[in-house]
Amino acid sequence: MEKKSFSWKLKDVLLIAIAGVLFSFLYLGTVYVGSAISAALTPKGLGVLGWEPLYGIYFMASTFAILIIQKPGVGIVAEVIASVLEVLMGNSFGPSVILNGIIQGLGVEVAFAIFRYKRFDWTPTIISAFTVTAASYIYDCIAYQYYLNPVWMILVQILIRLVSAIIFTSVITKLLCNGLAKAGVLNAYPIGQQAGSKKDYEVKDEE
Amino acid sequence: MIICLEKMNPTVKMIMVLVCAVILGFNRSVAVNLTVTGICLFCILFLTKRSRRNFPRVLLPILFLVLVMFMTGYRNGAGAGSDAGYYMFTAGKTASNNPVYIGLKMSSRVLAYASLGMFFTFTTDNLDFIQSLMQQGHMKPKFAYGILAAFHLIPQIGQELSDARLAFRVRGIRQSPISLKPFFAAMVNCMRWSETLAMAMESKGFDGDGQRTSVRIMKVRRADVILCISFILFVLLACIDSHFQFIPLL
């Protein structure tokens, strides 16, 4: 019954797209710090590490969509929506970001697919940080030839990206979704209904 | 006759850029990367009538990224020749262990990707792109117009976020630019917008799934397909030639 494919409504698309824009603002707030770190590390040849702490923000749209809508495939579609928006905003890498988005969305989806889309609690959310880090790094490794770097640098890059993904993609996104559900703005979605049903139980307990 | 690349169908152009980016992902030649960069920059500078006012502003961060990648390869790449990963991915063909060469290899790849991206961005109108995704890419109108609505809301969303920050400052609560409290407050309002905006669009008769007529009719011309296939073939053959050196050009 739950496995029925999800049909997107206009308000779902708008929700994900507007959230994607907000996440991009969060990214813009941090990108200057990332660039400054990168500039400081460039003479030592470690400049690529400067942006690694921001990678978790890139992946947020996908986890956000899955946690709210809780259906298969929404993670990939959400990333595609966010990346098409990036192209419209004039991203220098153009349509290549769509390819990047699909891979990142797939990385997040895997974690929830492991639990057959039945669990949307902390466990798959934290696992998604690991799977999305793996997927995005494999892509970047091939695209940007990170394999030419020494092994220690590859490991440091993966570690920073993983920590960033755990903080932003898993913890902050999960807390954000829970907060929005409690605020009552997601009542039309599974996550909002779950938050609402908990309140009903609490009322019954009190009775 | 001047070829105007903005007239090329955006979906065909997107496919061309994506396929070329995938091919370049397996390319190891600096010369091929620089050739693709040269062609793309030539197209941006001479084969489009669209405004290039933003070009230096977009190019500057790219050049910084190119420098970062060059230094990464230059400082670390020389030692990478002894790494198992290096041999595995280059199939033992260590063309050169010269740090400058490895730096160029890494930086020219980024430059080629960015040039392909800029080629698309600077020769494509946003509305044409979305219309083409709908007409040729069979994207449903609810996705296309949903994305467009969010895109046009960007200034309001930014204003909402700065209002939320101001509200915290007024109450004497200091917030850093990446603080999540105003972000959350803005998000609550934006979530409400998404619902009311969807309601507004639907109440005006917007059908997210139905077939639509359009003022802008996007067509795929024969010249678009020829240009797309020719460019992909050129990049593919250049990559193959640089690898096997049938004709020692690249």
Taking only residues 102 to 141 of chain A, the set having a beta carbon closer than 8 angstroms to any beta carbon of chain B reads none
pLDDT at A2 over 70: no
CB B37 within 8 A of CB B111: yes
Taking CA atoms, what residue in A is nearest to B122?
A90
CB B99 within 8 A of CB B78: yes
Contact B72 A91 (CB under 8 A): no
Distance CA B121, CA B3 (A): 17
Give the pLDDT confidence of B136-145 residue by residue, as tens digits: 998 999 999 9
**pLDDT score, position A101:** 92
**pLDDT score, position A1:** 44
Taking only residues 120 to 139 of chain B, the set having a beta carbon closer than 8 angstroms to any beta carbon of chain A reads 120-121, 126, 129-130, 133
B244: confidence class by pLDDT, cuts 50, 70, 90: confident
Give the pLDDT confidence of B190-200 residue by residue, as tens digits: 888 888 999 99
Rounded to the nearest angstrom, the minimum Cα separation between A43 and chain B is 7
pLDDT at B204 over 80: yes
Q: Report the amino acid identity of residue B247.
A: I
Which chain A residues are within 8 Å of B12, Cβ to Cβ?
A: none
Percent of chain A scoring above 90 in pLDDT:
48
Give the pLDDT confidence of A16-50 residue by residue, as tens digits: 999 888 888 888 777 778 888 888 988 888 888 98
Distance CA B116, CA B14 (A): 10
Q: Is A67 on the interface with B (CB under 8 A)?
A: no
pLDDT at A108 over 50: yes
Which chain A residues are within 8 Å of B64, Cβ to Cβ?
A: 35, 38-39
Distance CA A30, CA B72 (A): 22
pLDDT at A4 over 60: no
Which chain A residues are within 8 Å of B83, Cβ to Cβ?
A: 150-151
Which chain B residues are within 8 Å of A22, Cβ to Cβ?
A: 157, 161, 183, 186-187, 190
**pLDDT score, position B1:** 43
**pLDDT score, position B51:** 76
- Helices A173-183 & A60-69 angle (0-180, nearest 10): 40
Question: Minimum mean pLDDT among A175-179, A183-187, B11-15: which range?
Answer: A183-187
pLDDT at A61 over 60: yes
Taking CA atoms, what residue in B is nearest to A146?
B106
Q: Where are the domains of chain A?
A: 10-206
Taking CA atoms, what residue in A is nearest to B199?
A11
Secondary structure of B106-121 as H, E, C letters:
HHHHHHHHHHHHHHHH
CA distances from B236 to A143, B102, B229, B239 (A): 16, 22, 10, 5
Question: Whole-model pTM?
Answer: 0.86
What number of CA atoms fall less than 13 Å from residue B229's CA on the CB side? 6
Tokens 């913890």 belong to A171
pLDDT at B10 over 90: yes
Q: Mean pLDDT, to the nearest integer, of A170-191?
A: 90
CA distances from B168 to A134, A182, B182 (A): 38, 21, 7
| CATH number belonging to the domain at A10-206, selected among 3.30.1450, 1.10.10, 1.10.3470, 1.10.1760 | 1.10.1760
Contact B79 A180 (CB under 8 A): no
pLDDT at B91 over 60: no
Q: Mean pLDDT, to the nearest integer, of A73-92?
A: 90
CA distances from A60 to A43, A66, B186 (A): 31, 10, 16
What would the two tokens of residue B36 be?
A: 């693709």
Contact A47 B68 (CB under 8 A): yes
Give the pLDDT confidence of B169-192 residue by residue, as tens digits: 899 888 776 678 888 888 898 888
Ramachandran angles phi, psi of B119, nearest 5°: -55, -45
A205: confidence class by pLDDT, cuts 50, 70, 90: low
Contact A22 B187 (CB under 8 A): yes
More confident residue, B198 or B84: B198
**pLDDT score, position B89:** 47
Q: Is B188 on the interface with A (CB under 8 A)?
A: yes
Q: Is B214 on the interface with A (CB under 8 A)?
A: no
Rounded to the nearest angstrom, the minimum Cα separation between A170 and chain B is 15
CB B245 within 8 A of CB B33: no
Taken in order B118, B230, B249, B72, the sign of the CA dihedral is positive
Contact B143 A13 (CB under 8 A): yes
Q: How high is the mean pLDDT of chain B?
A: 85
Which chain B residues are within 8 Å of A50, Cβ to Cβ?
A: 68
Q: Is A87 on the interface with B (CB under 8 A)?
A: yes
Taken in order A199, B192, A172, A69, the sign of the CA dihedral is positive
Helix (H) or strand (E) holding B65: helix B55-80
CA distances from A181 to A69, A78, A160, A175 (A): 12, 19, 30, 10
CA distances from A146 to A55, A165, B110, B246 (A): 16, 19, 12, 28
ipTM for the whole complex: 0.85
